[in-house]
Amino acid sequence: MSSPVETFTTYKHSIELQKNVADLWWTVDDNEREITFELHINTTGWIALAGGMKGTDIGVGWVDQRGSVYFQDRYAFAKERPMLDNTTIDWFALQGREVSGWTAIQFKRLLDTCDLMDVPIKSGTNKLIFAYGLTDPIPSGPNGEISYHENQHGSRALSLRSYTDSLSEDTFAGLDYFDFRLNNACYISMLY
């Protein structure tokens, strides 16, 4: 991991999204049906995590000069500046700080908010986009407007809920064979 900032808690999973730029930690609580993230990005401006850019919800946060943490629930209809989601607030900041030029924010949301402007976090692969600005929104506060991220963004396909606890290679040591089964698979056969 690139971030010099200590995480707020211990997480079950982590990934370096982009070397020396962005790191992500997360834990899924299936009993509470929620996911807790901690995003660290090498900036003292705003940071964001989204399930895509078009037709998706986006969590945007920043830490102002006084150390106050702000977090917004936003939605993007197209590849344009995402608007504030005024239907319900579904992303919640837990804590945040800026250290050594990095912004670190811990936040959570339900896996499925039942909000039409939110994308459910399902089993399997989820596309995540991170983005950041070089400055805090002006005015800094709950309704601050974020600047365009220019080229400060990246994406990763991650399994947030399943396949994350893969078996160790030792599990298969000494086996001659094993069965691999797919449920709900679609098979296509072609004749030439």
Global pTM value: 0.79
Q: Which CATH architecture has domain 13-172?
A: Sandwich (2.60)
Residue ranges per structural domain of the chain: 13-172
pLDDT for residue 23 is more than 50: yes
Q: Is the pLDDT of residue 149 over 50?
A: yes
- What number of other Cβ atoms are within 10 A of residue 22's Cβ? 26
Q: Please state, in angstroms and rounded to a whole number, the distance separating the CA atoms of residues 17 and 22.
A: 5
Written as six digits, the tokens of 128 are: 């995540």
Checking if the pLDDT of 148 tops 80, the result is no
Please choose, from the candidates 42, 122, 131, 51, the residue with its C-alpha nearest in 3D space to the C-alpha of residue 91: 51
Q: Is residue 190 very low, low, confident or very high in pLDDT (cuts 50, 70, 90)?
A: very low
Strands of the 69-76 sheet, one edge to the other: 83-84, 69-76, 56-63, 47-50, 125-132, 153-159
Poorest-pLDDT segment among 72-76, 118-122, 136-140: 136-140
The pLDDT value recorded for residue 53 is 57
The three-state secondary structure class of 70 is strand
Alpha carbon dihedral 71, 72, 76, 81, in 10-degree steps, equals -80
